[in-house]
Structure 1
Amino acid sequence: MDSDMRKSFPAWTPPEIVAAYSEKNINYLFEWQSDVIEFAEANPCNIVYSAPTSAGKSIVAELIALRLALTGRKVLFLLPYISVARERLHFLQRAWRRVDVQVAAFVGAQSAPSREWTAAVCTTEKANSLINHAILDGHMTEIGLVVIDELHMVYDSSRGGVLESLCAKIILWNSRNSSSAVRLIGMSATLENLEEVGLWLNAKVIATHFRPVELHERLCCGGRIKDLKSDTHIRDVPKRFRVADDPECVLGLAAEGLFFRKLVLVFCSSKAEVEKVALDLAKILDEIYRSNQVIASRLDRAALYQIRMNLEQCAGTVDTVLAQTLPRGVAFHHAGLTAEEREYIEDGFRSGVIMVLVATSTLSSGVNLPASRVVIKAQTRGPAAINAITYKQMSGRAGRLGQVEIGKFVII
């Protein structure tokens, strides 16, 4: 199931929905997506599927859910983080209202005031509460489908227990109410023990290795860049991007990416390190802008100033680091910012106004951002050490379907 053969949307898909995806530069399905949707339509069982980042997992579940929602049955979308949930919410509300399907929010402080909705986008904790109330109040029969994004979070030490409890309740409900069973669809890019999870959820397991956007994985050590898989020497970081006090070339690789008109994501292990790297990058880029008017012309100063004003309006003041980095097209993203501040920064990067974004691993899970170069300053020891799941999530931010053609990922 790894073909890049292009398929049309299912015949039943309303043209308004096709148009909504076209606005995201998604004009067709890949063969694996079409196969999963066809299987789901022919077999009403639970499904767990795995595909690499940028393979288009979300659209599969969205179309399966939409077909059910159009019949009046309720569907829930579960996402682990508020920022990811809000991004999905905004798209579904914008798209599904065109076919008169109301999408409610159960995210952060947002909760729909009544049951007058057909679809709901929820964080895991909110979804668990919804399921509890539906069982206690006798409304569980109204729910037809629960979609679980980032299913690997069931193994998360801090949040996995809630997701496991939610799934267990649905499995128990289905065992006792076969005529009104709630279908489960789970997806992940990093879930390795698929068969085990599929057995637990009584689900059909489907996996593909297809990735429509080519990903180049590199390792940089001492300024020498090697292919991560073959260990073959590719090139050295150019001298003009070698910076004093930057032996790992984090700053140099980010600056090089910007020089070649790339949007760059830099991941660091801590909030303090994120802010330091953002400040250092802003200083380096300031020198580049002064010496290269072509690169300087890419700065949309008016739009950057508007982002600053938006941040000041929502928080009452602008973070002192952001005040210094934003005029250079650099921002940071971590849990120390409010959800609204993070959203303004994500939108700024997504639009290309913010050209370099330095972030902690929180940003690596699900938020669609059009980075064509990702640089990871990896920590291999201690509590902030990078693990395999985080590695895959971070590298997957390079080269998003419908946004860039090739993703370059460098781990340092």
Structure 2
Amino acid sequence: MLTRAAMLLLLLQDAAHPLGVGGVGNEVHGLYARWSATLAQGTFPTGDPLWQYPPGAGPLLLAPSVLPGLTYFQAFVTLTLAADALVGYALARGGREPAGAWLWTAGLPLLLHIPLARYDVEVTALAVLALLTLHRSPRLTGTLAALGALVKVWPALTLLGIERGRTTRQAWGAALTAAAAMLLVLALAFRSPLSFLSGQGGRGVQIESLGGTALALARRAGWRGRVRYRYGAMEYVGPHVGLVAGVAVALTAAAFVGLLWWRLRARRHTTATPFDAALCAVLLFTVTSRVISPQYLVWLLGLAAVCLTSRHTTQRPVALLVLAAAGVSALAYPVLYADVMAGTWTGVAVMVVRNALLLGAALLSFRSLWRATVPAGPAIDIA
């Protein structure tokens, strides 16, 4: 309770006494509230270049407007705190080890007040619940994963490590059914539910990504690029930015191939394997992304916490690296974000450390997952 009270106090003081650049709550006050008003008219914000989210995000952003007696901002934060409490409860009750609940409780405040002003806690709750319900109901796992994927895509990765055979068929069958049903409902309730598909193509290289860190170092060495606000983020523009973005996309494709190859080769399976695989997959897609926003760490903290609910997990060292990365992320934004945008040596150093921690966590996660599940001899079976 004390940690959440401190996070809430930071958020409430953000405008008057900002920590660093401030403005953490602006997305809720302005962007989310504006989108909610558009959604209330039965349409997705198709004319807004900042709208880049799957259609499931619509009901989530509309929900605060229907809570009585509260402003949109107050209702949004209330729902986020409720989702946070649900994650903590599920981790405490759903696992045999208490470390997962402790990691979530102590780790989320490392991101300061950012989690309260983004809807990633709600998305993470769906992913956490999907994983923790797997041993009781694979169909429920698939349904929750599908709902999460329709909000922010990545929760679909919670299905990656499910044991082959009937469990996989039940989970994926339920996921496809739930996704189709929800898409149908959204198509009937709102206009242009798939408009987000055209919003990602123009994305560049965000200054907080691994590619952005490489460009920041190049900038210190004389590269003539600059930082510009585009598509809701601070991105680099200038010579060779397109090449860096292309490399990031290629690395994401390589990560997908690597995960598929692991799936084909994996033979050993424990109760922790789905948890470990989900964390590994999200880490790989995070570090290869053109965009690594600070709220991405909310996802990683939630998945790392799920891993720690099992004594069989291979991801304990990875969870510690994720915790460290969360702490450094808060320095990068909002505390020292002015330095990050300006490309000072302080800002560059912070981003190098944060992204090195994430890259190290991703590589260690994949190696640990591979060694724990793939036997020495070749064997391929995707049933």
Normalised by the length of structure 2, the TM-score is 0.31
Higher RCO (CA-CA < 8 Å; seq separation 6+): 2
Q: Which has the larger share of strand? A: 1
Higher normalized helix content (fraction of residues): 2
The higher radius of gyration belongs to 1
Task: Compute the TM-score of the two structures, normalised by the length of structure 1.
Answer: 0.29
